[in-house]
Each structure stands twice: as C-alpha cells, then as structure tokens.
Chain A
Amino acid sequence: SQQGEEDPQALSIQEGENATMNCSYKTSINNLQWYRQNSGRGLVHLILIRSNEREKHSGRLRVTLDTSKKSSSLLITASRAADTASYFCATAQSTNAGKSTFGDGTTLTVKP
C-alpha cells in the first residue's frame, strides 16, 4: 500500500501568499523527504527531515514532522510564480533500506 499521501491534491494561491502541503504515512520511518517536480522534468530534492527531528528550515521552506501522527507538512512562505510545480513527499522506512516511497504529490499553482 502507498506509504506517503499528500494533501491537498491541488492548491492554487496568489503570489506572496503562503502555501502549506501535508503528507501522511503509515509505517515507521527513518526520514522523510520533500521533492519538487516541474512538469515533465525530474524531481529535485528540497529538504530531508529525520525521524528524531521536529522542524527544519531551508530558505522559504519550513518542514515539520509529527511522528506520533505520522504526518509532515511543507510550508512555502511568500510564494512566487516560479514555485509553481508538483511537490512530493517520500518516506524512507526503517525496514526497507533503499526504497523511498513517494506519494501522489500536490500540484501547486502560484498566480502572479
């Protein structure tokens, strides 16, 4: 069964607003990663948060992890039109080395 599931499936906001995407998973993890994908291109790694971490920042990105709820959120602050892309979470499970499992992704549209 699918490990990571993103919510919402699609999000449309105005430039300058914040965008929040959520990811839920089912089993114990070693880490959770967020990736970004522009249409028809490869995925680009954004940020990795380990299971013993609760929050991580990178520029305008803020990721939280709640292992008790098996969920993570990605916040993009002060969004730009260039942030328009699909965002995926990927979970690396404790018992499944080498197999990061991806969710369906959230498609973010930032209107100028």
Chain B
Amino acid sequence: ETGVTQTPRHLVMGMTNKKSLKCEQHLGHNAMYWYKQSAKKPLELMFVYSLEERVENNSVPSRFSPECPNSSHLFLHLHTLQPEDSALYLCASSLRTVNEKLFFGSGTQLSVL
C-alpha cells in the first residue's frame, strides 16, 4: 500500500461517454501526477500539479481534462475518447516536484470501445 488510492480500478467506456478518474493521497505530498502506460510503450507523463497549480501539460489532447481541487485529490475527466486511449492510467504523488521519488496508485485500466 503506497498511500495513493485510485478509483475505479477498471473502466470500460464508449467513445461518446464522459467519465472521471479519481486519485487521492493522504501522504502530505504537494505534487501529483497523471501518467499513461500503454502496452509496449514507456510511461508517458501527462500532467503535473504542484500545490494545486498545473505546472506541466505534456501536449495531451484536450479530451483529457485534469482537475486538482486540493493537494490531496486529483481527477482526470475523460470525454470523446478514442480506442487508442485505452491504457493503464497511473496517478502518483511526491513531496515536491523537484527530483523526488514517486508514490504510485494501482492505476485505472481503461478500455475505450
């Protein structure tokens, strides 16, 4: 147990659906991240939040919309996704953004039909 909780664990959605992924940490960390892990590809950093401010948006399509209402919670809102967006979405947190070790959640396995 890393202290980072993601829900749901699995999600199947159609291309016209709207859904949200949730991430929660109670480690007192100030930075939170969304990563995408596709089969046979390295982890891709999507977004970084530091103290609830977005500090990185790694050229992610607008159909992915992050939200960080406070330092303990992070959401990823999904709408009009494509089948190639099917992947494991991992949330992580760290004490700060600078070169810190990451604590990962178990991920949400997303399938877009």
Residues of chain A having any CB pair with chain B under 8 Å: 2, 4, 30-31, 33, 35, 40-45, 48, 88, 90, 92, 97-105
Contacts and interface: CB of A to CB of B under 8 A. Distances in A.
Contacts of B104: 35, 42-44
Contact of A45 (B43, B101, B106): B101
Contacts of A98: 31, 48, 50, 55-56, 97-99
Interface of B: 2, 4, 6, 31, 40-43, 45, 48, 50, 55-56, 88, 90, 92, 97-99, 101-107, 109
Nearest to B104: A42
Given A43-B102, A44-B2, A45-B102, A99 B107 contact: no
A101 B50 CA distance: 18
B64 to A, nearest CB: 17
Nearest to B31: A98
B74 to A, nearest CB: 14
B42 A42 contact: no
A40 B105 CA distance: 11
15 contacts: A33-B101, A35-B102, A40-B107, A42-B104, A42-B105, A42-B107, A97-B98, A98-B50, A98-B97, A100-B99, A100-B102, A101-B42, A101-B45, A103-B42, A104-B40
Contact of A42 (B40, B56, B90, B99): B90
A55 to B, nearest CB: 18
B2 A48 contact: no
B88 A40 contact: yes
